[in-house]
Amino acid sequence: MGSTSGHSNSGLGRRDLIKRSAALGLVTIPTMGFLSACASGDGGAGGSKVEKGKVTKTNPLGVNETAALEVVIFDGGFGQQYAIDAEKKYNAAFPKAPKVKHKATQKIQSELQPRFNGGTPPDLIDNSGAEQMDMGVLVGKKQLADLTPLLDAPSVDDPNKKVRDTLRPGIVEMGQFDGAPVWILYYAYTVYGVWYSQTALDRLDAQYPETWDEMLALCEKAKKQGIAGWTYAGKHPYYLPFSLYPFIAKIGGREVLDSIDNLEPNAWKHPAVKAAFEAYYELYKKGYILKGTPGLDHIQSQTAWTKGKALFIPNGSWVENEAASTMPKDFNLAVAAPSGLDASDKMPFGTIWASGGEPFIVPAKAKNVEGGMEQLRIMLSEESSKNFTTQVKSLTAFNGGTDGIELTPGLKSGVAALEKAGENVVNPRLQDWYVKLQKEQIGVAGLGEMMAGRLTPAEAISKIQGFADKAAQDSSVKKYKHQ
Amino acid sequence: MQHGKYRFIVGFLAAPLALYAVFVIWPFVQSIYYSFTDWTGLSPDFSMVGFDNYARLLDDDVFWKSLQHSLLFALVLPVVTIGLALFFAFMINVGGRHRKGAAISGVRGSSFYKIAYFFPQVLSIAIVALLFQFAYNPESGAINSALKAVGLGDVQPLWLGDPDLALWCVMAVLVWSTVGFFVVLFSAGMASIPKDFYEAALLDGASRVTTFFRITLPLLWDTIQSGWVYMGILALGAESFAVVQIMTTGPGGPDYSTTVMVLYVYQSAFRDGAAAYATTIGVALLVVTLAFAAVVMKLGRRERLEY
């Protein structure tokens, strides 16, 4: 450990050299070298497209029968088997094409961003999960192919019906950003709402409450037995909108949500928003929220809920799969549309939020654009859709596909909720148009703070309106409007 | 040997320096370049926008908050970690009762403590963060359950869910996971301090506190200083990112109470599709890190002791 200081020669000593380079290295290495990994490429070097094939009755998109196809699937809650099954069908339809190149990953962005930058993306991508690439940016930078040819092609099951007409409500609109082109096809169909255990309600001798007064009364009844009324993913408070947004729509009508999505000035100051916020805040005020909820993440809150510590949780239909390991056998999972406020509500009870999940995209610079679309067309057949529903307990964009297969309780209840809703399905778009605004600003900094009791509804609303106004003015954020 | 010395050095260093230039220096240059563009990170085309990103940075409340938190990390974490580590290392090596035959020795069971302290270092920071996330669970986590068990059922903080506590919770995890490394580092340093010094001091009637401040600390100064820089960089960089990203609300919340600069870089680049803005924050982070290193080096400069 001893050292000799004071070199007599004035040159660069060995120690000095080592010391200086070590210090330099120490300072520089960890800071931001990682960004080098995503340095942008030169673009134009991209691949040449394959030649288009002949359009026939069985090949309405004109797929090149010998061209290779490359598919990248997000390997998340839905796994990848459904895609592999559909790829086999592609190969059966085009026996001259090489086996479909299949890749499943959770790291969509890390793996594909360099390929987009290099101009050599795969032909079909399930752009989902925590590493989802920002759709708004992809669209804005013209990286995606317009899927209109696919939607106008005849469906696999009925050549007289276009693919467009076999889809559930909202799917086509969700794929549009500005104007007619459809950039994304959401394959899964998610039902959002208030999830609960029918068994737990039976034990309390209760029905799902249709009005807010009934909701409060039920929560009071549960509280007396030591059960909390509600819990939610406190660390991800952007789960709250799953029941809150359709609640707002029910009170004030669909236009309120549309104006919120359109970032219109004072959209959040609408009386319906205020009423909904105050109703939720009352849950906190009266102590109906499970203690400690603001510190729970989604899994922890779901576990507390499946253990019967709370009755209701705002969530999406994936919860059936996600909470399966902790859900008791007799849980009897069910979903309901948000309870209404009172008789003056603009929309009927049953108004629910349902929308597409698992966004599939075909890159504009893909080599085999037609092949990517054809693969989607195959996936949207009744057979493939049923296969998906059986495997992963989720509906697909294909309208139907539930006959003749046994549905799990949650799925069954989801189908029933959709039937009850009929036309009254709302589809707020903030979470795909303005991710940061929805999750971090409205969710964490607004709703999360209000439900933890640190903001009043009025304060939360003006804070959120401030965020929305700022996003509206931010020229670096691309804006979208409801058509 | 003086003649041709530089050519000799260059000959040896050419290859490593070339690697360093390509993989470290060049990315820096690129990052700085990209910070003047509007590159999204999702497509190869972008254009120059001058200082727009920097103007936006100065006007960005979240950036200032993350800067504030990062600076707090860089100040508090080294002080607490190194202070604790010095204390533990001293107790393990020097602080024990006098025993026959040895002038100085550690407390009873010091070799066990040495291993116990080092243990968290073996775990990856991601696992540590996950474990603590469970411990901090306000509803059924270890900490609140323990509070309940000792009759403090009324004291059930939200921990990570409370904006006033969350940042400290995160820091505590980092201290827990890194203090062991420094205990071992300082122990090694202390072991190389000749025992005669302590013997002489103790013979002269010096207390343990005096020996610590008059002998241990000065002779350990070099080690502490590098430890300080290392810890500061850790607090500004990867480790703080990992714990904040894994453990906190949002992540970065509640209400931006735990966001740090590296997290903001990551979110801008990989969530918001604003890679150019992310590199701008990265440049700010670079400035902060360099400034930190410079300040520590400057403050820490002392006459070196020979022994």
Cβ pair B249:A39 closer than 8 A: no
| Residue A137, helix vs strand vs coil | helix
Cα-based torsion angle of the residue sequence A453, A459, A460, A465 in order, rounded to the nearest 10 degrees:
-170
The pair of three-digit structure tokens given for residue B30, joined into one six-digit string: 């690129």
Is A51 inside any structural domain? no
Residues 6+ apart with CB under 8 A from B181: B85, B118, B121
CB-nearest to A38 from B161, B256, B275 is: B275
Sequence-separated (6 or more) residues with CB below 8 Å from residue B74:
B232, B235, B236, B288, B292
Q: Which residue of A has its CA nearest to B268?
A: A436
How many other β-carbons are positioned within 10 Å of the β-carbon of residue A33? 17
- Residue A92 tokens, joined: 């059966």
Helices (DSSP H) in B23-141: which residue ranges? 26-34, 52-58, 61-93, 110-122, 125-135
Output the tens digit of pLDDT for each of chain B's 307 residues.
567 788 888 888 888 889 998 998 898 898 899 889 888 877 777 888 888 889 888 888 889 999 999 999 988 999 999 999 999 888 888 776 666 556 667 777 777 888 888 888 888 888 998 899 889 988 888 888 888 888 887 778 888 888 888 899 999 999 998 888 899 889 888 888 888 888 888 888 888 888 888 888 888 888 888 888 888 888 888 888 888 988 888 788 788 899 999 999 998 888 887 888 999 999 999 898 888 888 887 877 766 666 6
| Number of neighbours of residue B83 by Cβ within 10 angstroms | 13
- Six-digit token string for A461: 């609303």
Please tell me the distance from the alpha carbon of residue B168 to that of residue A371, in angstroms, as a whole number.
53
Q: Are residues A318 and A362 in the same domain?
A: no
**Cβ contact (<8 Å) for B44 and A30?**
no
Residue A162, CA distances (Å) to A17, A89, A182, B247 in order:
73, 20, 15, 47
Structure confidence at residue A176 (pLDDT): 87
What number of other Cβ atoms are within 10 A of residue B300's Cβ?
Answer: 14
pLDDT of residue A327: 92
Interfacial A residues in 319-358 facing B (CB < 8 Å): none
Q: What is the pLDDT of residue B273?
A: 79
Cβ density class A273-291: b for 16+ within 10 Å, e for less: bbbbbbbbbebbeeebbbb
> Are A300 and A174 members of one domain?
no
Q: Please, what is the angle between helix A271-285 and helix A254-261, to 10°?
A: 100
Q: Do A32 and B282 touch (CB under 8 A)?
A: yes
Chain A residues touching B236 at Cβ < 8 A: 31
The per-residue pLDDT for B100 is 57
Q: Answer yes or no: is A133 within a domain.
A: yes
Q: Structure tokens of B29?
A: 């240059």
For residue B2, the model assigns a pLDDT of 64
β A185-197/A333-336 pair status:
antiparallel
CA distance A189 to A395: 5
- Whether A318 contacts A394, CB under 8 Å: yes
Residue of A nearest to B22 (CA): A36
Q: Say if A284 falls within a structural domain.
A: yes
Per-residue pLDDT, A17:
52
Please, are residues A420 and A350 in contact by the beta-carbon 8 Å criterion? Answer: yes
Q: Is the peptide bond before A338 cis (omega within 30 degrees of 0)?
A: no
Chain A, 67 to 96: residues with Cβ < 8 Å from chain B are none
DSSP letters of B122-136? HS-HHHHHHHHHHHT
**Residues A343 and A465 occupy one common structural domain:** yes
CB contact under 8 A, B271 and A36: no
**Sign of the CA dihedral B290, B296, B297, B298?**
positive
CA B132: distance to chain centroid?
A: 18
- Mark whether A121 and A265 lie in a shared domain: no
Is residue A316 classed as helix, strand or coil in its secondary structure? strand
CB atoms within 10 A of CB A355: 24
The CA distances from residue A53 to A100, A120, A370, B54, B206, in Å, are 17, 21, 9, 50, 92
Q: Which residues contact A479 (CB under 8 A, 6 or more apart)?
A: A263, A472
Q: In which domain, by residue range, is A333 found? A: 191-354+427-473
**Number of independent structural domains in chain A:** 2
- Token readout for B173 is 């995890």
Instruction: Give the chain B residue nearest A39 (alpha carbons).
Output: B30
In a domain, A18, yes or no: no
Task: Classify the C-alpha dihedral B117-B123-B125-B130 as positive or negative.
Answer: negative
Whether the Cβ atoms of residue B66 and residue B260 lie closer than 8 Å to each other: yes
The predicted structure's pLDDT at residue B107: 75
Q: How far apart are CA B41 and CA A2, in angstroms?
A: 50
Q: Six-digit token pair at B42? A: 């999702």
The owner of tokens 């209400």 is B255
Domain at A176, CATH number: 3.40.190.10
The tens place of each residue's pLDDT in chain A, 483 residues long, gives 334 343 444 445 555 555 555 554 444 444 433 433 444 444 444 457 888 888 888 888 888 889 999 999 998 778 889 999 999 999 999 998 899 999 998 888 888 988 888 888 999 999 988 778 888 788 888 889 999 999 999 999 888 999 999 998 888 888 888 778 899 999 999 999 999 999 999 999 999 999 999 999 999 999 999 999 999 998 889 999 999 999 999 999 999 999 999 999 999 999 999 999 999 999 999 999 998 898 888 888 999 999 999 999 999 988 888 888 899 999 999 999 999 998 888 999 999 999 888 899 999 999 999 999 999 999 999 999 999 998 888 889 998 878 888 888 999 999 999 989 888 999 898 888 888 888 889 988 999 999 998 999 999 999 999 999 999 998 878 888 887
For residue A119, which residues of chain B lie inside 8 Å, CB to CB?
44
Q: What is the DSSP letter of A168?
A: P
Is A33 domain-assigned? no
Q: Same structural domain for residues A213 and A135?
A: no
pLDDT of residue A351: 93
Verify that A220 and A291 share a domain, yes or no.
yes
Q: Could you give the CA distance from residue A323 to residue A312 in angstroms, rounded to a whole number?
A: 14
**Inside any domain, residue A178:** yes
Same domain, residue pair A216 and A186 = no
Domains of chain B: 57-300 (1.10.3720.10)
Q: Please give the Cα distance from A148 to A165 (Å, whole number).
A: 12
Going by C-beta distance under 8 Å and a sequence separation of 6 or more, which residues neighbour residue A162?
Answer: A151, A152, A153, A154, A155
What six digits make up the tokens of B228? 């300080």
Tally of CA atoms within 13 A in the half-sphere of A327 that contains its CB: 23
- Alpha helices, H only, A49-129: 81-93, 108-118
Q: Are A332 and A223 contained in the same domain?
A: yes
Residue A363, domain member (yes or no): yes
Sorted by sequence, the CB contacts under 8 Å of residue A459 that are 6+ apart come out as A450
- Contact (CB<8Å) A142/B161: no
d(CA B90, CA B105): 10
In whole angstroms, give the CA distance from residue A405 to residue B285: 56
Strands A185-197 and A310-316: antiparallel
* Per-residue b or e along A388-426, where b marks 16 or more CB atoms closer than 10 Å to that residue's CB: bbeebbbbbbbbebbeeeebebbbebbeebbeebeebbb
State whether A236 and A340 are in the same domain. yes
Q: How far apart are CA B118 and CA B188, in angstroms?
A: 13
**Among the listed residues B248, B131, B122, B221, the one whose alpha carbon sits nearest the alpha carbon of residue B178:** B122
In the block, tokens 């104007």 appear at: A179
Buried b / exposed e over A429-463, threshold 16 CB at 10 Å, is bbbbbbbbbbbbbbbbbbbbbbbbebbebeebbeb
* Pick from B174, B173, B140, B136: nearest CA to B158: B136
Cα B139 to chain center, whole Å? 30
Query: Is A52 inside a domain boundary?
Result: no
* Chain A: closest CA distance from residue B183 (Å): 17
A257 Cβ contact list (under 8 Å, min separation 6) = A245, A248, A249, A426, A428
> Which residue of A35, A297, A438 is the best one to mutate when testing the B interface, meaning the one whose CB has the most B CBs within 10 A?
A35
Does B267 contact A27 at a Cβ distance shorter than 8 Å?
no
Q: Which of residues 230-289 of B touch A (CB under 8 A)?
A: 230, 233-234, 236-238, 248-250, 252-256, 265, 267, 269-275, 277-279, 282, 285-286, 289
CA atoms within 13 A on the CB side of B219: 22
Cβ of residue A291 closer than 8 Å to a chain B Cβ: yes
**A223 and A310 part of one domain:** yes
A236 & A325 share domain = yes
Substitution target in B162, B249, B305 with the highest count of A β-carbons within 10 Å is B249
Shared domain check, A396 and A326: no
Angle at A328 between CA A322 and CA A330, to 5 degrees: 120
ipTM of the complex: 0.77
B168–A contact, CB cutoff 8 A: no
Rg (CA), chain B: 24
